Structure 1
Amino acid sequence: MGDSITAGYKMTALSVVYAVEERGYAFTTGGLGNWKNVTTIANLLREFNPDLIGISTGSGDYKSQAAGFNVAVRGAVDEDMLVQAKYLKKKMMDNPDIDYEKHWKNQSTNEITYPPDVEYIKTLQDKLPLSTPHPCEINPDKPLWRSETRPTSVHKLRPGDIDVIAAFGDSIVSANGARENNALGIFIEDRGVSFLGGGQGTWHEFTTLPNIIKVFNPHLTGFATGRGLLSLSSSGELNLAGPGTRDGDLIIMAKEFVKKLRTERTYDFNNDWKMLSILTGHNNICTFECHDKELHSPEAHKKNLQKALDYLYDNVPRLFINIIPIIDPTINPRTTSGVVCSIIRRLGCRCLFTESTVEEGVLKLSSIVRQYQEAEKDLVFGGLYDGRDDFTVEWQPFFRALNAPQRIGEPEDPRMLELLEKEASIWTMDCFHFNQRGHMTMAIQMWNNMLEPVGNKTETFDRFLINKYKCPTKEHPYLFTKKNSETFFSEEHQ
């Protein structure tokens, strides 16, 4: 339904007399050709359902056979929508190929219902009974979960001492599409199951970093619950990530974070221990770096991250910050295939296609990823944030295991391929974002990194623990920092 735009109206170069409604090319219902030569919503949907009904196949007005169910009229105004709706209903009811009551409009045949009868992608982790104890709860060497009094040093911080949890980042951190079974679901922000900022339910059904920490402190606050845009929902809490955001937006998130901590009664600004995790830069490197190398260089990435960290260092007491290195987006073409992945990677990571071959594009982009990661690491270990005993910035490098080989033709890590084959369903349908099952996997890696001393953290697949947890012990009851890691290596305790 609509006006001349929806009707595919255009004019030839000859004269306005030759104005024609090219409905077969309309971005909504156009069904000429296929998505490769005529990219429309209808042609994209046909990749999932070849028997899609209602597509437009040629030119003509809304009454023509070629119009399908495109009932848009050139010159229509909003008051005309009711007329178009009634006409559309009549066309559907008169069409013998349609089961008017049962068919889902825009997505069904007599063989498909919504949601699918057969779960063709396993998006969710396997649930455990709520009575199942967390592995760390049955550890015979377990220490106190929470200090008897609030610690004054970040280097003596137990997992249960964390009172508030937050996250900054892009669509990976806002968990876009995490529980969706179709490509269009990537637009749905599912913050409640984000591995860094989601706290919906418990770790038994949604394993996230906040839900793991809730085992140690059931009164944890700040985590997100449910789906929805951050700006339209209070359930986002302190998961301040936003789809499409870049590293330059971190300072905006930092200021909003401080504002919320200061003004919302949920938080004790001066006394609560806060944990903040930051993962960003994917939109810079995938969409903008190849067009403006100076503005989106590794050094610029470092400066934008530093700007946010400087602000937090000057304004927030009792803060433990995790910096997670950017994920190498070339993991998509290196390990996945299929029409949907091919479409979305061209739309979502244009900088991958600046070279003459995909292999050369992978090599070039992955090299820039490593430079971004080194810039992040240099900032963390540069000593800028070591001057306060209640503040630390730590490096959790587990995502570096996804980095591409550094030469064309060099084989991938067989352990990574084995994991991705075994856990084939950790991706959403765009083959880059994590589905909820993937968020579970990454939450456990994140937790394990935090329980490993600096200088000996897992960042290769030979040390990955799939669905296995590291736990605090009496020898190392605290979250590892640069400072207490030195003590651990020299004295074998923190």
Structure 2
Amino acid sequence: MSNMYRNIFALFVLMLIASTNAGAHRNRRENRSDRFLASIGLKVRRYNPRQLDSHDLPLYTNIDRDLRQLLLTARGTTLNWAMQNIESLNQRSKREGKMQKVVPSQVSFPCPLNNTRSPIAPTSVERLRPGDIDIIAAIGDSLSAGNGIMSTTAFDMLNEFRGLAFSGGGIADWRTYLTLPNILKVFNPKLYGYATGNSLVVNHQVSHLSIAEPMIMSRDLLYQARVLIDLMRRDPHVDLQRHWKLLTVFVGNNDLCSDICYWNDPQSAVDQHARDLRKAFRLLRDNVPRLLINLIVAPNIQLTMSRLTGISLQCFMVHRLACNCLISDRLSSAQRRQRQETIHRWQQVDLAIARLPEFQRKDFAIIAHPMITNMTTPMLPNGETDWRLFSHDCFHFSQRTHAMVSNLLWNSMLLPDDQKPKPNVLPQPFQWFRCPSEDQPYLVVRPS
């Protein structure tokens, strides 16, 4: 039996054991989760298939709660297995070219640090320098949670290497792992909120304010926003009124991959996405002073995956199970065109919401970053797919790609809308690294 199938069998046995033992701890767990959910405005209800939910928040039932606990147990166990073999995973990723090249210690950081933090904290988001950011956070799905960053099989996509993720990871430094937090740590060594290790989101002593989770969809943004607000209010390291905060939001991949084809009218799904964004951003705007939001515009997954060559059997299975709405041999040409149009409208919603006047305030702004909207499948000179950019499920990003995306996001934060990068092929880390200048020392936060 191969390692992948052996691991799958072991996980199945584990889930059966966890399900059997769950009853012994149910009352204590339910009371704890009920109190937490009540503190952020959610109430667990008894599942009733005939009951329709008319409230703003999604219906959350006892079944959802118990299933989540089962999944957390399974994910925690597989992550522990991975951590026991982390050096082996690291070395294999290096051999396969899936890790960024380490920058030697004698090489200086690409940017000068003069005047990159204000002597007095600015009162306007338009006067925000990189070093003025005190708190960093991330919400989104598995790409933001760091799933599968290091892997040996597609099974490793279950593992969350949160500390290496582009938007919220802060393990080591920029020389080893280029992430947005590791860039900003250079400008402000006291930066707080990034994940300090690889853990599930429930381990807040490690994940901190990096609360992205696998399988998150647009409809979950309001919930994630509520959780983030609650965490910030409780964290003694966060001065809600004084600190400037940066939140990176990246969602939509699961909606487009596995949900969009179940809507009778795809435009209704896009309209719902717009409502989800507005509700979540209004909640954040009204409860988190001094907040700047990076909104990563969803990629064109159909375009990115269309030219893959030499796909392994495990990747073939993953694509058709996890992204059946876009990657399916049953799709007609007309259906493919319709899905392509839906993706384009989804991307336009992301851009349009960020430009709304209601989200342009003195201490609040949203920057939309279309940097991966045109991303195509990376190819080698011989015409074959460059698998160095993918995990072994051929979908999630390798650490090398997380470094590339971090570099692009950083550049985009320093450029106006009409100059923001939208490459077809992702540049290598440090191939182009933009710096604040004497003429333009501030982050560009207003639509052009």
2:350 to 376, 383, 398: 376
Q: Per the alignment, in what secondary structure is the counterpart of residue 136 of structure 1?
A: coil
Q: Tell me the equivalent position of 1:18.
A: none
1:253-402 maps to which residues of 2 (within 5 A)?
253-293=224-264, 297-330=269-302, 331-336=304-309, 337-353=311-327, 356-357=330-331, 362-386=336-360, 388-402=361-375
Instruction: Give TM-score, length-normalised by structure 2.
Output: 0.75
Q: C-alpha displacement at 1:268, in angstroms?
A: 0.8
CA distance in 2, matches of 1:213, 1:423: 30
1:168-187 maps to which residues of 2 (within 5 A)?
168-187=139-158
Greater RCO (Cα-Cα under 8 Å, separation 6 or more): 2
2:392 to 429, 434, 440: 429
Q: Per the alignment, in what secondary structure is the counterpart of residue 399 of structure 1?
A: coil
CA distance in 1, matches of 2:437, 2:384: 33
Q: Does the C-alpha gap of structure 1 residues 481 and 285 become closer, same or farther in structure 2, counting only changes over 3 Å?
A: same
Q: Tell me the equivalent position of 2:99.
A: 124
Per-residue deviation, residues 173-197 of structure 1 (Å, max 9, x unmatched): 0010102222111000111001011
CA distance in 2, matches of 1:231, 1:294: 36
Establish whether residue 479 from structure 1 lines up as the match of residue 430 from structure 2. Answer: no
Partner amino acid for 1:346? R
CA distance in 2, matches of 1:430, 1:360: 28
Partner amino acid for 2:406? A
Q: Per the alignment, in what secondary structure is the counterpart of residue 418 of structure 2?
A: coil
Q: Per the alignment, in what secondary structure is the counterpart of residue 482 of structure 1?
A: coil
Gaps of 5+ in 1: 1-41, 47-51, 56-70, 72-77, 79-113, 404-411, 486-494
CA distance in 1, matches of 2:380, 2:333: 21
Give percent identity, aligned residues only: 31
Q: C-alpha displacement at 1:470, in angstroms?
A: 0.5
Contact 1:286 1:349 in 2 (8 A): yes
Establish whether residue 446 from structure 1 lines up as the match of residue 409 from structure 2. Answer: yes
Q: Does the C-alpha gap of structure 1 residues 421 and 147 become closer, same or farther in structure 2, counting only changes over 3 Å?
A: farther
1:90-169 maps to which residues of 2 (within 5 A)?
121-137=96-112, 143-169=114-140
Q: Per the alignment, in what secondary structure is the counterpart of residue 402 of structure 1?
A: coil
Q: Does the C-alpha gap of structure 1 residues 317 and 239 become closer, same or farther in structure 2, counting only changes over 3 Å?
A: same
Per-residue deviation, residues 439-477 of structure 1 (Å, max 9, x unmatched): 001100110111111222111338957522011001110
Q: Tell me the equivalent position of 1:234.
A: 205
Q: C-alpha displacement at 1:43, in angstroms?
A: 7.4
Contact 2:308 2:385 in 1 (8 A): no
Partner amino acid for 1:351? C
Q: Does the C-alpha gap of structure 1 residues 221 and 293 become closer, same or farther in structure 2, counting only changes over 3 Å?
A: farther
Contact 1:246 1:281 in 2 (8 A): yes
Q: Per the alignment, in what secondary structure is the counterpart of residue 353 of structure 2?
A: helix
Contact 1:294 1:300 in 2 (8 A): no
Higher helix share: 2
Per-residue deviation, residues 270-324 of structure 1 (Å, max 9, x unmatched): 0000000111011111111111245861111111111100101111100011111
Instruction: Give TM-score, length-normalised by structure 1.
Output: 0.68
Q: C-alpha displacement at 1:45, in angstroms?
A: 3.9
CA distance in 2, matches of 1:130, 1:231: 35
For the pair shown, the structure with the greater C-alpha radius of gyration is 1
Q: Tell me the equivalent position of 2:187.
A: 216
Give the CA RMSD over aligned residues. Answer: 3.2
Q: Per the alignment, in what secondary structure is the counterpart of residue 445 of structure 1?
A: helix
Establish whether residue 460 from structure 1 lines up as the match of residue 423 from structure 2. Answer: yes
Partner amino acid for 1:269? L
Q: Does the C-alpha gap of structure 1 residues 362 and 125 become closer, same or farther in structure 2, counting only changes over 3 Å?
A: farther
